[in-house]
Homo-oligomer: A and B are copies of this chain.
């Protein structure tokens, strides 16, 4: 089998089945980026789907925001590998009845997202299709790529930024309410953390991934890939300010609410024990790497079972 050790969930079951069927016809599957060695540099590549009705609804976002978000989500995989952006290839489907300007508006958002981190639109493909669908393939480069594996017992677990904002927006929409503007921005306009990823690699990051499925699920992925257990203290999880109102409505602890939120596109990183967190951007210690397997979530000392988001669940 040619996949890295993967955590639980229907999407990973599918990747396991594909890796088993492909055998030697596949490289290493299950990382945030594929890596291609070119002399002293690695090229990092990742492809990411955004499908109307699955990843977003048109009522929630402008076309430019749909293009930005799809591209930022893909670029976030480069951040997880500690890579710098080169560019993006965009494959778009749009219903035949739409005006041609729909493509240009989507690409306007994509172009802004990729140029915000120093890359360009490299190419693409267009087709009609039953709904909006965007496949963004990002290309980056790095001399020292980060991986999901490599965390060791004793390492600290840290997250960039604040979590749960995208989930707060999603819950509001799903309950027929308009989200607070701060939450809407977290969903519509995620900022891929490429600078932060490169910084953390330079500081000795042991293992890193981006929070697309949510801390609750992604912590398990890091644990599985690294062959360790991770402990998250939910009191320490930095909840986005926009989370508080939604968490109160759902009766959840804000840290638990934030940990269960997907699509924040922040980074989760295991740093050596001596790392102090002295970096020029928001970074919060949320837990600890331990011996064993799986992810544990503690709230006031008691274990809390948490589930992340899975597109197939």
Interface-side segment among A35-43, A175-183, A257-265, A271-279: A35-43
**Which positions 112-127 of chain A face chain B at CB distance < 8 Å?**
112, 114-115, 120-127
Contacting residues, chain B, for A89 (C-beta < 8 A): 34, 45-47, 137
Q: How many residues of A contact B (CB 8 A)?
A: 68
A90 to chain B, nearest CB (A): 7
Contacting residues, chain B, for A51 (C-beta < 8 A): 93, 127-129
A21's partner among B49, B54, B107 (CB-CB below 8 A) is: B107
Contacting residues, chain B, for A27 (C-beta < 8 A): 87, 120-123
A176 to B96, CA, bound (A): 25
A154 to chain B, nearest CB (A): 31
A145 to chain B, nearest CB (A): 13
Quickly give the copy total for this chain: 2
Contacting residues, chain B, for A14 (C-beta < 8 A): 100, 103-104, 126
A137 closest partner in B (C-beta): B137
Contacting residues, chain B, for A216 (C-beta < 8 A): none
A8 to B262, CA, bound (A): 44
**Which positions 135-162 of chain A face chain B at CB distance < 8 Å?**
135, 137, 139, 141
A240 to chain B, nearest CB (A): 25
Contacting residues, chain B, for A127 (C-beta < 8 A): 49, 51, 54-55, 311
The interface centre, meaning the residue of A26, A31, A43, A87 with most chain B CB atoms within 10 A of its CB, is A26
A108's partner among B21, B107, B121 (CB-CB below 8 A) is: B21
A128 to B48, CA, bound (A): 13
Interface positions of A (Cβ within 8 A of B): 10-11, 13-15, 17-18, 20-22, 24-27, 29, 31, 33-34, 36, 38-39, 41, 43, 45-49, 51, 53-55, 86-87, 89-91, 93, 96, 100-101, 103-104, 107-108, 111-112, 114-115, 120-131, 133, 135, 137, 139, 141, 311-312
